[in-house]
A and B are shown apart, each in its own frame.
Chain A
Amino acid sequence: MDSSNCGGRPCRTPDLPWRRIDGRVVVIHPRSGQVHELNPVGAQLWEAADGQRALTEIAHELAREFEVSEEQAGRDAAEFYAELERLGLVRFS
């Protein structure tokens, strides 16, 4: 987890091909050709990464919806976004 991103706003990389289908998100990285599938929770986090909301806000919503502690939700969301950032699918503003 990159703690420096906790106050940042995750933002989907513009123009990446993606769609939500049957609760899941499929996203393609054209340069690498890699195709990624996100489960329903991942899909929710993906759609939340609109560059408008801070990671703390997203974690707050996640904690409320899934009835876990905000600390736990924050850790999980940060880890998820860090992985997407590594893959070039998300960046922090």
Chain B
Amino acid sequence: MSILDRMRNRSAELLVPFQATIELTTECNARCGHCYLASHDDRVAGGIPLSVDEWKRVFDELAAAGTLVLIFMGGEALLHPRFWQLAEYAATKNFALSLISNGLAIDETAAERLAGLGFYQVSLSLYSMEAEIHDRMTRRKGSLQRAMAAVERLRARGIPVSVNCLLTSANIERCFELEDWAGARGASVQFDPMVTPRSDSALDPTLLRATPEQLRGYYREARRRGRAIAPAPVAMGDPVCNAGRGKCAVSVTGELLACLDVRESLGNLREASFEELWNSPRAERLRGLRNEDLRFDPSGGDGAFCDHCPGMAASEVGDPRAAVPFLMELARIRREVAIGDCIFAQER
């Protein structure tokens, strides 16, 4: 386990928000059909966006609470008109700065500024090595070419790059070509088949999920390439996830969230301090969910392979404790591939 992972785990035990995701703006220069955001207009995001001074106060409070990793995301965070001012301020607070971006706005100048500010990681969304597939998913012609150029620019300046690849039925079959390309440039790739509902709980993006047969093929190849597909065993008394324990998120309008996927607000940071909201009874309730509370057994059978997400469960089945059919399907396939098709066939 890396030092950061160990610190992350210890922070979660101590309820220190080690990692904070900053949803700086909902504005975006792509229009991905799978995006979790219900709107790309900050004016209709359910309130007034935080001002620069308000964001600075939030950063001050997060630093005081022990946040080390500060992740800027959106929408497209680089489209925020005061992004650089805010990033410069955050850099003075000794955060480990990270950016999640589609890469479209990372030209030579932006790459240079990110390097100058000491960004320790940039995660870029790439969906395929085929422009037809990637550009169709982002609904922006030429977006693959620009995202690939962004990877090259960042790597040329020594910034660690991670490629985020959400897996849908459109891109899953040749996704490992991306791993080969990124690996040759010293970038890691995170594949993620968990297409989530939108922030307003609309299920439209979930229609884009990969099929069971596609997922089976993906996990077989992942296993062949040495990727771990079996999760670590869980203890029934442990928390279900890190949301509201070692991590948090702040929305464009200042809502403090336990995690971006858990949209129930802990309160607004315009109206109360981080410390008040983080230590409130509501936060205590949200972070109180334990494996033993789940409505399925996460310690055995398919359940042991399920990466349960309370936020997804609340959106999709109306109960954070209930099994999400798609996640259980993923778990079944992962278990089948991990154990071996022959053995599993006999069991069935």
Give Cα distance in the complex from A66 to B118, angstroms.
36
- Shortest B156–chain A CB gap in Å is 14
The verdict on B251 contacting chain A, using a C-beta distance below 8 Å, is: no
Q: How many residues of A contact B (CB 8 A)?
A: 17
Instruction: Encode contact with A along B10-38: 1 for CB under 8 Å, 0 otherwise.
Output: 11001010100000000000000000000
- Shortest B319–chain A CB gap in Å is 34
Give Cα distance in the complex from A28 to B66, angstroms.
15
Q: Are A21 and B4 in contact (CB under 8 A)?
A: no
Give Cα distance in the complex from A36 to B119, angstroms.
17
**Contact (A33, B120) CB under 8 Å given A15-B92, A15-B94, A17-B94:** yes
Contacts of A21 in B (CB 8 A): 7, 10-11, 14, 16, 18, 66, 68
Q: How many residues of B contact A (CB 8 A)?
A: 24
The verdict on B3 contacting chain A, using a C-beta distance below 8 Å, is: yes
Contacts of B55 in A (CB 8 A): none
Give Cα distance in the complex from A19 to B68, angstroms.
6
The verdict on B79 contacting chain A, using a C-beta distance below 8 Å, is: no
Give Cα distance in the complex from A21 to B16, angstroms.
8
Instruction: Encode contact with A along B92-119: 1 for CB under 8 Å, 0 otherwise.
Output: 1011110000000000000000000011
Q: Are A30 and B120 in contact (CB under 8 A)?
A: yes
The verdict on A80 contacting chain B, using a C-beta distance below 8 Å, is: no
Q: Are B10 and A33 in contact (CB under 8 A)?
A: no
Contacts of A19 in B (CB 8 A): 18, 66-68, 94
Interface centre among B6, B10, B120 (most CB of A within 10 A): B120
Contacts of B6 in A (CB 8 A): 37
Q: Are A37 and B7 in contact (CB under 8 A)?
A: yes
In this complex, what residue of B is CB-closest to A14?
Answer: B92
The verdict on A16 contacting chain B, using a C-beta distance below 8 Å, is: yes
Give Cα distance in the complex from A22 to B10, angstroms.
8
The verdict on A41 contacting chain B, using a C-beta distance below 8 Å, is: no
In this complex, what residue of B is CB-closest to A25?
Answer: B7
- Shortest B164–chain A CB gap in Å is 18
Q: Are B3 and A18 in contact (CB under 8 A)?
A: no
Contacts of B346 in A (CB 8 A): none
Give Cα distance in the complex from A24 to B68, angstroms.
13
Residues of chain B at the chain A interface (Cβ within 8 Å):
2-4, 6-7, 10-11, 14, 16, 18, 66-68, 91-92, 94-97, 118-120, 158, 160
Complex A-B: 18 CB contacts under 8 Å = A15-B92, A15-B118, A16-B94, A19-B18, A19-B67, A19-B94, A21-B11, A21-B14, A21-B68, A24-B7, A26-B7, A28-B4, A30-B96, A30-B97, A30-B120, A35-B3, A35-B4, A37-B6
Report, nearest first, the 8 A-B pairs whose CB atoms are least far apart.
A17-B96, A30-B118, A30-B120, A19-B68, A35-B3, A37-B3, A26-B7, A28-B96
